């Protein structure tokens, strides 16, 4: 089974941008174990800008493009260094792939990406993908990693995309504002009612929100790929998910499809 796991900045870092060491260690352990048990895993990881902010001790997420891109250049290095070190502990080799939106539109680059990724999986390497933030300008960027991870999942024929987020899944209303908001466990169809649940608030360091997750769901539906939103604060939920337990919000579960 081929699985793309998207890790958001809020899962990797504390609110000040510094690495959440316990969380990341747990996550790398669980992902290594899933890989050992036979899953083909591709990570799409955010965190470059957030970790750059932490490493450069900037007071807040920069607003201007050159500082954002500089933070990404510093943070991407730190991010891969961290993954390399932690996965090494479980004898897994990582590879970095940085993409922009235009790489999906250019046939040659797209095929090269698919070939490289395929070969990395054959070599049992763990590919870790992010947007190439230092060169991605408005015209060519994908813009958020929920969408990027769905594009990756579609292009590699993944069976499932898991979005690790700072919430448990899709709720019937904003759980921060509405006490009786309920978690929706299964979404079979992206009805107008479901699409209307997309608020537009992102987290402090990342860019996502429910809007980008539902957009990712549209891409997954078209690619016939299952998608799950899970709380990244509890990496063990990944075990529950693959044991078939009802966790997070599952879109287009295999059994639901005709």
Residues that bind ligand GLU (CB under 6 A): 8-9, 46-50, 72, 130-131, 133, 144-145, 206-208
CA dist 197 and 211 (Å) reads 8
Closest to ligand GLU by CB, 33 vs 60, is 60
**By C-alpha distance, which of 77, 72, 73 is closest to 61?**
72
* Residue 50 beta carbon to ligand GLU: minimum distance, rounded to whole angstroms: 6
DSSP category for residue 252: S
Q: Where are the beta strands (DSSP E) in 100-218?
A: 126-131, 160-165, 186-187
* Residue 133 beta carbon to ligand GLU: minimum distance, rounded to whole angstroms: 5
> Which residue is listed with tokens 């990395």?
120
Beta bridge partners, 41, equal 3
* 7 Cβ neighbours under 8 A, 6+ residues apart: 27, 43, 44, 45, 46, 47, 164, 232
Closest to ligand GLU by CB, 144 vs 226, is 144
Closest to ligand GLU by CB, 145 vs 249, is 145
* Residue 142 beta carbon to ligand GLU: minimum distance, rounded to whole angstroms: 9
CA dist 116 and 110 (Å) reads 10
Closest to ligand GLU by CB, 60 vs 224, is 60
* Residue 79 beta carbon to ligand GLU: minimum distance, rounded to whole angstroms: 7
* Residue 102 beta carbon to ligand GLU: minimum distance, rounded to whole angstroms: 15
Closest to ligand GLU by CB, 31 vs 129, is 129
């Amino acid at each position: 089974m081929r699985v793309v796991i998207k890790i958001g900045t809020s899962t990797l870092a504390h609110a000040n941008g510094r690495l959440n060491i316990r969380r990341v260690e747990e996550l790398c352990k669980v992902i290594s174990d899933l890989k050992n048990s036979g899953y083909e895993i591709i990570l799409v990881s955010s965190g470059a800008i957030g970790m750059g902010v932490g490493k450069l001790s900037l007071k807040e997420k920069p607003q201007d493009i050159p500082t954002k891109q500089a933070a990404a250049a510093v943070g991407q290095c730190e991010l891969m260094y961290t993954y390399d070190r932690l996965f090494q502990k479980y004898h897994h080799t990582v590879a970095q792939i940085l993409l922009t939106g235009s790489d999906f539109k250019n046939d040659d680059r797209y095929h090269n990406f698919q070939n490289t990724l395929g070969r990395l999986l054959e070599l049992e390497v763990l590919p870790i993908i992010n947007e190439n933030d230092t060169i991605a300008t408005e015209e060519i960027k994908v813009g958020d990693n929920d969408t990027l991870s769905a594009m990756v999942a579609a292009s590699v024929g993944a069976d499932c995309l898991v979005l690790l987020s700072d919430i448990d899944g899709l709720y019937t209303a904003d759980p921060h504002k509405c006490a009786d908001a309920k978690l929706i466990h299964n979404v079979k169809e992206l009805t107008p009612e479901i699409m209307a649940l997309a608020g537009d608030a992102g987290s402090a360091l990342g860019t996502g929100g429910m809007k980008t997750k539902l957009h990712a769901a549209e891409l997954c539906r078209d690619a016939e790929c299952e998608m799950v939103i899970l709380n990244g604060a509890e990496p063990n939920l990944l075990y529950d998910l693959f044991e078939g337990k009802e966790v997070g919000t599952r879109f287009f579960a295999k059994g639901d499809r005709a």
